[in-house]
Structure 1
Amino acid sequence: MSTLPIPPLPDVIIEPLVRLALSEDLGRAGDITTDVTIPADTQMVATVNAREPGIAAGYDAARLAARIVDPNLEWEPLHNEGTPFEEGAELIRLRGLARSILTAERMILNFIGPLSGVATLTGKFVTEVKHTKARIVCTRKTTPGFRALEKRAVRLGGGVNHRLGLDDAILIKDNHIAAAGSIQAVLERAKASVGHLCSIEIEVDTLDQLQEALPFKPTAVLLDNMKPTMLAEAVSMIGGSCKAEASGGVNLKTVKAIAESGVDFISVGALTHSAVNLDVGLDYNG
């Protein structure tokens, strides 16, 4: 779980996604159900409630959705993001025009539910490895358009972000090596082409590949689909000369043994591609 405050994403980053989601829902005529059943001046108080335990995330996008629907809606967080809650916890209180709250309801839940699911799953992995130095890391296996939000949710669950995209670090995978011809070729070209602030990580599948890569002093090595015993041997070979990251075959049953091999990071695609929507609902309070 998060130990330091994680600021919301700037509106300029998430507003295009939030507006797209709202326009998709409102269609060509708006919320015709609410408009014909609720008098225009009706006031309402409602809370977003947790129907199962978890870790909250997604407030920034949900709040922006509410504000776009009605800038005068009052938004009161009752439970902080990044901290665990129990079933029945009240997460957010909304006050304002009933039409506005009812129109924004689904978008609010569509952001908080899935993103809290990401944070909650991340928290489970983090708990499994808390007795080791290993950090849980997300990947680029994200929902299109949701990457920044999902990666923030991973941080709220206590995890660490890997690359945000193809443009912020070099990660040399097996297909890069195959296309370039060798580990030596890709690492020599990478070393000659980037500045000192750009990290270089290379994926290896065997200890022989690791031995070949280490003389080039990469920032990190990605130890792919290695069993814990082989991971421990790889960590010994690395000897602290660079960071060791494990990937492949990672789940809640295997992650503890992987962490105990001594790796620095464990990348888990499931954090974002397989997290289950956390059950939250919006309930009328008056």
Structure 2
Amino acid sequence: MRIIYAGTPEFAVPALQGLIEAGHEIVMVLTQPDRPAGRGMQLKASPVKQLALQHGLRIFQPESLKPADVQADIAATQADVLIVAAYGLIIPTAVLNIPKIGCYNIHGSLLPRWRGAAPIHRAILAGDAETGVTIMEVVPRLDAGNMISKWACPITEHETTQTLHDAISREGARLMVEAMHTLQTTGQLPSEVQDESLVTYAHKLEKSESAIDWTQPATQLSRQVRAFNPFPVATAKFREQVCKLWFAQVAEGAGESGTILQTQPLRVACGEGALEIQELQMPGGKRQGAQQFVQGQHVQPGDRFF
């Protein structure tokens, strides 16, 4: 089939690769304009653009899809299908109406739970037992289209947004390739309407949410640390320096909130229970294991995080 693929970050790469390998004709790749990145703030191509360049695909990077000339360029592709995966720009109804067959999206949650911008983070923060990916029809309302297929996975105490992101990206790609095969061979994709009574919204993350409040239960703080890995990363103050907490799990222990109960392993008292910190990072330094931190900072029981 003739496919327009709209995606920008690493999340969207496996699906594009899968569709190419499946033999579909990618007539256009929509991806966000190159953005400044790194210390030199040099313009950098998105991961999706980098893959598209490797395969010699036509790349289109408008700042907006609203201008008439932009929509005319998209319409000229005579695409059968538009596939969206973390594109990052609003897709007007006029563009959704361009493909001959329809528009489909890879969404990183088990819809109708967690529509919106940060579904993986919100699932971890909320203590959900599972999450996954949904292939859905794209409609003008946010993530409200009919559901075509799903893949679910448990959220264990070892999962971070990064690990779930990678699994969901991989399985979403597989499901989308399967969906396009079904559409190509049968001419239709059976779908299911979302139950509006079960809808929750995954609001965009605010940087202010990254600060650890040690009066909270350890279960909640563990979720916060894991949900904010790899971005924006949970933070806590130690000796007036803001450090990043990359990984931590719930442990036994009690004491005044923020107090280091023991150093081997590194356990910190919370409002309820204790948090065992396993990986963290001091300002200007690299990520390190808890024992490197203890030795390098000469940490003693009774020291405090704030």
TM-score bracket relative to the smaller structure: under 0.3
Structure with the bigger percentage of strand: 2
Structure with the bigger percentage of helix: 1
Structure with larger RCO (C-alpha < 8 A, sep 6+): 1
TM-score (norm 2): 0.26
